[in-house]
């Protein structure tokens, strides 16, 4: 339903100044935002893009890097008070930027730079697109700054906001955007779009982003299975490795562990799941993952 609505906008050429894509985590909001942007900026005017013109190729390249987590080389900074400050992501397309949280929040300086971008004339396509991912992480100052430009957006610019927490978005922003709800992908759609096997599609829980991450890090599935066998040497080996992984990899491992345990929930698995959830919450605080995983293992024995 959501894709049909967006397709009609593209066909009619009635591209609004503000769109809000909302739905549960991994429901396809950001993926569709990239695909919609291709259609908006396509040099051949093809609905959903032609995938052949320079505009579509630039967006596809940016999309691939974004979903693989390869964003370091896409980061744009500004100098402020003698320091480098991250503002947004930008690939080779001069008319498309992505605003993502810096730390836990999207800050006012990021929105200010996005507004500056909004008033620049398009350089390659006929329009510009500004994608604000996880828009619910905007601070009050950021939200109010964005509201000002959404009230009268430049005629050649479209803002696309994505969120899994619609209730956290200012009502005044909601009233100035076309809202599109996303229900999520089926297992078959995940298999087709992400080009993954059935096991990965099932483990993704309908999340395209998670499926693409699992595709890149298939070894984590094997590690979780070995951890669940609860052989002491393997548990210690994996728990020790865990401490040196990137945050995203740690979260993915714990998500998988939770998914496998929830296949057969019982009174025995409840305290284990509670421990895993606490562990996920503690990762940003720098908890000792090795000790926590060993504790999880001991609960599995009990």
Q: What is the pLDDT of residues 3-29, one digit of tens each?
A: 888 999 999 888 999 999 999 887 889
**266 has pLDDT over 80:** no
Q: Are 39 and 49 in contact (CB under 8 A)?
A: yes
Domain spans of the chain, in order of start = 2-184, 219-301
Report the alpha-carbon distance of residue 236 to residue 136 in Å, rounded: 38
Query: Residue 302's pLDDT is what?
Result: 58
**54 has pLDDT over 70:** yes
Report the alpha-carbon distance of residue 236 to residue 11 in Å, rounded: 57
**290 has pLDDT over 70:** yes
Query: Residue 194's pLDDT is what?
Result: 84
CA torsion sign, 195 to 200 to 205 to 209?
negative
Query: Residue 13's pLDDT is what?
Result: 87
Phi and psi of 135, rounded to 5°? -60, -20
Q: Are 276 and 254 in contact (CB under 8 A)?
A: yes
Report the alpha-carbon distance of residue 230 to residue 60 in Å, rounded: 42
Q: Which fold has domain 2-184?
A: Rossmann fold (3.40.50)
Q: Is 92 helix (H, G, I), strand (E, B) or coil?
A: coil
Report the alpha-carbon distance of residue 88 to residue 106 in Å, rounded: 10
Q: Report percent pLDDT > 70 for the chain.
A: 99
Average pLDDT of the residues in 60-66 = 93
Q: Report percent pLDDT > 90 for the chain.
A: 61
């Amino acid at each position: 339903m959501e894709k049909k609505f967006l397709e009609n906008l593209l066909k009619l050429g009635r591209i609004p100044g503000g769109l809000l894509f909302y739905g549960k985590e991994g429901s396809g909001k950001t993926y569709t935002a990239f695909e919609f942007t291709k259609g908006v900026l396509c040099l051949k005017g093809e609905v959903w893009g032609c995938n052949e013109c320079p505009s579509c190729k630039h967006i596809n390249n940016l999309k691939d890097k974004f979903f693989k987590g390869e964003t370091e080389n896409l980061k744009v900074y500004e100098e402020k008070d003698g320091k480098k400050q991250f503002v947004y992501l930008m690939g080779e397309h001069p008319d498309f930027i992505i605003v993502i949280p810096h730390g836990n929040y999207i800050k006012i300086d990021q929105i200010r730079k996005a507004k500056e971008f909004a008033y620049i004339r398009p350089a390659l396509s006929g329009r510009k697109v500004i994608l604000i991912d996880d828009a619910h992480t905007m601070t009050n100052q950021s939200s109010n700054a964005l509201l000002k430009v959404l009230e009268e957006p430049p005629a050649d610019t479209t803002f696309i906001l994505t969120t899994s927490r619609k209730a956290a978005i200012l009502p005044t922003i909601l009233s100035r955007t076309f809202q599109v709800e996303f229900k999520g992908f089926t297992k078959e759609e995940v298999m087709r779009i992400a080009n993954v096997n059935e096991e990965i599609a099932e483990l993704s829980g309908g999340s395209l982003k998670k499926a693409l991450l699992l595709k890149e890090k298939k070894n984590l599935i094997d590690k979780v299975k070995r951890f669940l066998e609860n052989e002491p040497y393997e548990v210690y080996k994996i728990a020790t490795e865990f401490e040196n992984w990137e945050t995203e990899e740690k979260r993915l491992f714990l998500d998988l562990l939770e998914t496998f345990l929830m296949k057969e929930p019982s009174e025995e698995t409840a305290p284990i799941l509670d421990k895993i959830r606490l562990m996920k919450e503690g990762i940003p605080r720098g908890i000792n993952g090795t000790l926590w995983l060993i504790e999880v293992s001991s609960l599995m024995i009990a």
